[in-house]
Amino acid sequence: MKNNKSLLLKAINKSPLERTPIWIMRQAGRYLPEYRALRRKYDFLTLCKTPELATEITLQPIRRFGLDAAILFADILFIPEALGQELIFSERGGPVLSPPIRSFSDIQSLKTEALSENLLFVNQTIQIIRHELNDHIPLIGFSGAPFTLAVYMIEGQSSRNFHQAKSFMYEAPNHFHQLLQKLTKEIIEYLKMQITAGVEVVQLFETWGNILPPHLFGEFSSPYLKKIATELKPLGVPVILYVRGGMTHLFELQDSQAQVLGIDWQTDLAQVKDNFFPKFSLQGNLDPGVLYGSKEFISREIRHILSLFQNESGHIFNLGHGIPPDVPLDKVEFLIETVHSLSTKYHQKGHHEQ
Ligand code: CP3
């Protein structure tokens, strides 16, 4: 594969490297003035569905910063839309899917025949990005994980206590599983399409993993994540599982075929390293809120993370969740520069600090 020399792929494969790679979840978005400028002219859905515009936005953070990966500009909610729910991004209240799924017959009437056709704009965007992006920078594709998508499809919008999703799951677990199975199949098809179009790494977002009690993660989430990773394995494109919810959840993924675990900022990275670094590469997990802090505190937190890995390969620096829209740009710049310089020192010297 042409990008085997990229820092990101080296870290994923635990090959020797000169510094730690860094990218930022939601790196293309509202904290960037050049994004806000385009967003004044077009709504979010138009930006995502016009391949030239989605390409431009994907490349914005790459042009501005020394980031080591680009991530496709799209949204996890395009699968529910492609399956027949209407998707609206309201200016104030966030995404709305309608009608929400409330019964078994709603699941049965999802339109599974035309997924790739309905998501053709993603395929086209990837091809244009791959053409325009420097060969050394890998492109990350993504999908929401089955459980996270199911929760959105049932709630129909963001939720505080997940009343609808939980009543569906706990009242009709078998039907809930049928929805998860359907989504798993569609996600595999969607990610295979992204890989064929040119993405070199894929990330699954199990954003709502943290609303599952630890002992139920193995029932409602991890089997589906594992199925997707297994199906993608023969394609040779590494899979990052970003899961919110902590150590017990991660233990359920121990025997998965994924190469990277993405760690949320509320999970202790030192503990994760002790338990999972032998098998997986790890991504994360700076608290995004640290970017509201002083440069001294930002450096301190970066050092805390980098010192866990020292000069070992296998860590990808990232935030532990998406970057908020209102962080100061100079702090983002500082973050990236500091990760570059500190990790270069660790790797150059074969440096070990106690
Ligand atoms: O830069 C990137 O990371 C790539 C693009 C990307 C977006 N959303 C763009 C976006 C990715 C990978 C996502 C994933 C996503 N979308 C998740 C999982 C990641 C996570 O944060 O846990 C979720 C839960 C969604 C659903 C979603 N999309 C919500 C809840 C919202 C509204 C909340 C918000 O942040 O405004 C969106 C909108 C959205 N997706 C924006 C962007 C840049 C903001 C759109 C705008 O310009 O108004």
Query: What is the per-residue pLDDT across 248-262, written as a single tens digit (0 to 9) for each?
Result: 999 999 999 999 999
pTM of model > 0.85: yes
Q: Decide if pLDDT at 78 tops 60.
A: yes
* Phi/psi of residue 29, nearest 5 degrees: 175, -160
Q: Decide if pLDDT at 1 tops 60.
A: no
Ligand 1 site residues, Cβ closer than 6 angstroms? 25-30, 39, 44, 71, 73-77, 89, 94-95, 142, 158, 205, 207, 322
Exposed/middle/buried for residue 349 (C-beta within 10 Å: 0-12, 13-18, 19+): exposed
39 assigned to active site: yes
Q: At what angle do helices 120-132 and 173-197 cross, to 10 degrees?
A: 40
Q: What is the pLDDT of residues 260-277, one digit of tens each?
A: 999 999 999 999 999 999
pLDDT score at 353: 55
The percent of residues above 90 in pLDDT, for the chain, comes to 94
Nearest C-alpha neighbor of 69 from the set 126, 128, 9, 145: 9
Closest atom of ligand 1 to CA, residue 71: 4
DSSP secondary structure code for residue 209 in this structure? G
Q: Decide if pLDDT at 3 tops 80.
A: no
Of the residues 75, 102, 287, 292, which is catalytic?
A: 75
pLDDT score at 351: 55
30 assigned to active site: yes
> Ligand 1 test: best mutation among 23, 24, 26, most atoms within 8 Å of CB?
26
Nearest CA to ligand 1 atom 34: 94
Q: What is the pLDDT of residues 295-324, one digit of tens each?
A: 999 999 999 999 999 999 999 999 999 999
130 assigned to active site: no
Q: What is the pLDDT of residues 9-59, one digit of tens each?
A: 999 999 999 999 999 999 999 999 999 999 999 999 999 999 999 999 999
CA of 115 to the centre of ligand 1 (A): 20
Of the residues 30, 64, 102, 303, which is catalytic?
A: 30
Q: How far is CA 170 from the centre of its chain?
A: 27
Q: How many CA within 13 A on the CB side of residue 48?
A: 18
Of the residues 26, 64, 102, 303, which is catalytic?
A: 26
Q: Decide if pLDDT at 113 tops 80.
A: yes
Q: Are 157 and 88 in contact (CB under 8 A)?
A: no
Confidence class of residue 93 from pLDDT cuts 50, 70 and 90?
Answer: confident
Closest atom of ligand 1 to CA, residue 205: 18
75 assigned to active site: yes
Q: Decide if pLDDT at 66 tops 80.
A: yes
pLDDT score at 5: 77
Q: Decide if pLDDT at 354 tops 50.
A: no
pLDDT score at 92: 79
3-state secondary structure of 285: strand
pLDDT score at 350: 61
Confidence class of residue 90 from pLDDT cuts 50, 70 and 90?
Answer: confident
